[in-house]
Structure 1
Amino acid sequence: MRIGKVYYQDKLAGHITATDHGEYLFQYTPEYVQSSPDLFLTFSMPVRREPYIERHLFPFFEGLIPEGWLLEMAIQKWNLKRNDSMGLLLACCQNCIGAVSIHPLIQEENEL
């Protein structure tokens, strides 16, 4: 399982998770739901308490991953596979253009 912290304008908005079962989950934090109910990441994912669950990476997050020659550089630099969407998201999207950034959540070994 790999998890990324999702920030909106430098405020923790939620977590995106790639599960060991091949699903992707995104869930806004309870604090964000309470304090920023109108500041959604994308129209397709309004702020709510329930998680969003998909079999593929959500299109909004897929759109943050670089393309073309920049994607090729990222694949080589971090030794990732082209189809590793979550790996690319966690490696490349910590300093995106725009209001959203994704930072890997480092888990302690005893949590894994």
Structure 2
Amino acid sequence: MKALVRMNGTVAGILERKGVTVWFQYDKNYLTLGQPALSKSLPLRKEAYEYEGLPPYFSGLVSEGWLKRVQAREQRIDPDDDFALLVSNGEDLPGAITIELLDLP
């Protein structure tokens, strides 16, 4: 499953999951535009970040509590699948970040 990550409408990178491994890689154009890093935990670099599970920055964007339960139930997503919940609701996140699903699982 892949998702496009935008900051203030500008493509910042790709978030991808295969199994339990999740990668985030900044877009080449984003790096050349002199845009800010998404977070201090994801400084700008050409190489992909690799994590087992959702990177901490992105896990902080996943809904919590009653909203997470409602999203999981209504969208038929396992409430423990933070990646799927994030990309399914990524166009309605707080702040400057949006996440758009690029392909289906």
**What is the TM-score normalised by the length of structure 2?**
0.93
Q: Give the superposition deviation at 1:86.
A: 1.3
Matches within 5 A, 1:1-112: 2-20=1-19, 22-36=20-34, 38-106=35-103
Q: Give the superposition deviation at 1:93.
A: 1.8
Q: Secondary structure at the match of 2:85?
A: helix
Aligned residues: 105
Q: Secondary structure at the match of 1:97?
A: coil
Q: Secondary structure at the match of 1:94?
A: helix
Q: Give the superposition deviation at 1:4.
A: 0.7
Greater CA radius of gyration, 1 or 2? 1
Q: Secondary structure at the match of 2:68?
A: helix
Structure 2 residue ranges without an equivalent (≥5): none
Letter in 1 for 2:21: E
**What is the TM-score normalised by the length of structure 1?**
0.88
CA distance in 2, matches of 1:70, 1:83: 13
Structure 1 residue ranges without an equivalent (≥5): none
Letter in 1 for 2:87: L
Q: Give the superposition deviation at 1:34.
A: 0.8
Q: CA RMSD in A?
A: 1.4
Following superposition, which runs of at least 4 residues in structure 1 exceed 4 angstroms of deviation? none
